[in-house]
Amino acid sequence: MSQAQLAGPDLSDSYVSLIESGKRTPTPVVARLLAERLGCTTEFLLHGIEPRQRIDTELGLRHAELELYHGDPVVAADRFGEIVKAAGEDNAMLAAHARLGVARALEAQGRVGRAVEAYERLRREASAHPERLADLPLTVALCRCYQRAGDRLRARDLGAHALGQIDRLGVIEGELAVELALALVEAETGLPYVERVLSAAGPARANDRSAEILALWQASVTAAEGEDSALAVQLAEDALAAGRPTRIVLRRARMAMHWARITAADPEGADLDRANELAQFAADVFAGFPAERQEHARSLTVLSFVRFRTGDAESAAELADRALDLLDGANGTTAATANLVLAEIALARSGDPAVALNRAHDLLDGEAPDRETARAWRMLGDLWGQAGAFDRQSGAYRRALEAVGIRVNIPGSMTTTVLAR
């Protein structure tokens, strides 16, 4: 069939040519007209798949998302990958969204290097085909991943780029704004925007709706087994919608916790009242979610540090002990930091900090090198210095440098000087 035959008396040959080349999108009326002349459904003409196949694919995407947020990210990656294969080259938009799901699932598994590769490919595709994928969410995801991979400069560059985009739009509310603000505060940049997002959102809370989400998810699976795909999609969307407020409030709590930590660590001009308010908010949120036990302990440790900065040593000690009780003897940076706060309190009271400092050292020893671990080693060195144990101070400073990839082969006293500079 020629373009002229397809155009018929209703359309021009040039308009059909523009549609074929992707420079025009047909209106629903024109799409129905073309589909009739081509002997196919409108759905197949627009999307390359028949309605039943499309709704089954939509259901597969929803179930993969539920696995990502509320199940197993490994299973989610497999399900998204199956959709990529099924979509093929004829369904570029569908395949792009499924590949985005794969990237998010890799990130959720902690496979940050693989996730970065996937996000970078998608970002190049979004640049070439903006009708398939938006660039801004990909930039935010890359900012977050590079920060977690230890490439802080790249993370900050991407954060600044994303901030420029979102500032032009004037967006300070919603899921994307919260994701960007969290990525920025983790990279310790863009803090004025982070504060605007925190202030705009207000003191919202969310309940743990895990049981409701799982019930809706199971109902969707049952409907799909009964071949009621439309109902299955609706139930899956209801399950995802039920989980969205929780995801947002947990991200806001993490954002508030990081903002409070950064503010309280500022030796001059720290807004400790605001830091206390945000750290308390984070602790209250995480307390309502049993699965967030580690984050609850972290938030209590940050709140303990803030309270100590305000001069409330008694409350600070109580909060640090509560954090350690939650961790129940587990190793890691959070437990080490709680002990460091207890050591700082002991020093302020002219007590002996050695027990807490030695415990912090043991908890940090063997931890994976990253900036959070380096920060804890640095704090340990500062406190050993205040206690007069300068050899221990130099050793802790050396470990702090090594945690960020700097190997030192110089005397201990010079290590201390290098880190101070």
DSSP of 135-199: HHHHHHHHHHHHHHHT-HHHHHHHHHHHHHHHHHHT--SSHHHHHHHHHHHHTT--HHHHHHHHH
- Average model confidence (pLDDT) for the chain? 89
**Domain carrying residue 214:** 203-308
pLDDT reported for residue 409: 66
297-325 mean pLDDT: 96
Last residue of a domain, one of 249, 274, 308: 308
Q: Are 289 and 346 members of one domain? A: no
Does 418 fall in a domain?
A: yes
Write down how long the chain is.
421
Q: Is the pLDDT of residue 105 over 70?
A: yes
Q: Are 346 and 279 members of one domain? A: no
Q: Are 302 and 337 members of one domain? A: no
228-255 mean pLDDT: 93
Does 371 fall in a domain?
A: yes
Most confident of the following: 43-57, 157-171, 203-217 = 157-171
Does 362 fall in a domain?
A: yes
Q: Is the pLDDT of residue 417 over 70?
A: no
**Higher per-residue pLDDT: 91 or 264:** 264
Q: Is the pLDDT of residue 416 over 60?
A: no
Last residue of a domain, one of 253, 273, 308: 308
pLDDT reported for residue 324: 96
CB 182 within 8 A of CB 163: no
Q: Is the pLDDT of residue 312 over 50?
A: yes
pLDDT reported for residue 78: 96
pLDDT category at 421 given cuts 50, 70, 90 is very low
Q: Is the pLDDT of residue 201 over 80?
A: no
Does 346 fall in a domain?
A: yes
**Higher per-residue pLDDT: 337 or 414:** 337
Q: Is the pLDDT of residue 411 over 60?
A: no
Does 82 fall in a domain?
A: no
Q: Is the pLDDT of residue 266 over 70?
A: yes
How far apart CA 175 and CA 245 sit, in angstroms, is: 9
Short-list 366, 314, 319, 358, CA closest to 340:
358
Q: Is the pLDDT of residue 407 over 80?
A: no
The dihedral built from the CA positions of residue 329, 334, 336 and 341, taken in this order, carries a sign that is negative
Q: Are 304 and 335 members of one domain? A: no
Q: Is the pLDDT of residue 351 over 70?
A: yes
Which backbone phi and psi does 409 adopt, to 5 degrees? -130, 55
Q: Are 364 and 421 members of one domain? A: yes
Torsion of CA 213, 217, 223, 224, to 10 degrees: 160
pLDDT category at 202 given cuts 50, 70, 90 is low
pLDDT reported for residue 89: 66
Short-list 197, 190, 202, 143, CA closest to 175:
197
Q: Are 384 and 421 members of one domain? A: yes
pLDDT reported for residue 90: 66
pLDDT over 70, % of the chain: 92
Q: Are 280 and 337 members of one domain? A: no
91-105 mean pLDDT: 90
Q: Are 298 and 336 members of one domain? A: no
CB 123 within 8 A of CB 115: no
Q: Using one digit for the tens of pLDDT, what is the confidence trace for 69-86?
A: 999 999 999 999 999 988
Please give the structure tokens belonging to residue 329. Answer: 């003897």
Q: E strands, 19-75, where?
A: none
pLDDT reported for residue 360: 95
Does 159 fall in a domain?
A: no
Q: Are 287 and 383 members of one domain? A: no
Q: Using one digit for the tens of pLDDT, what is the confidence trace for 269-295?
A: 778 999 999 999 999 999 999 999 999
Q: Are 289 and 339 members of one domain? A: no
Q: Is the pLDDT of residue 347 over 80?
A: yes
State the CATH number of the domain containing residue 382. 1.25.40
How far apart CA 330 and CA 367 sit, in angstroms, is: 12
Please count the other Cβ atoms lying within 10 Å of the Cβ belonging to residue 342: 25
pLDDT reported for residue 398: 93
pLDDT over 90, % of the chain: 65
Find the range with the poorest average confidence among 45-54, 177-186, 255-264, 365-374: 45-54
Does 207 fall in a domain?
A: yes
pLDDT reported for residue 203: 54
Does 198 fall in a domain?
A: no
**Higher per-residue pLDDT: 213 or 421:** 213
- Total tally of structural domains belonging to the chain: 3
Q: Using one digit for the tens of pLDDT, what is the confidence trace for 140-167?
A: 999 999 998 889 899 999 999 999 999 9
Q: Is the pLDDT of residue 37 over 90?
A: no
Q: Are 413 and 384 members of one domain? A: yes
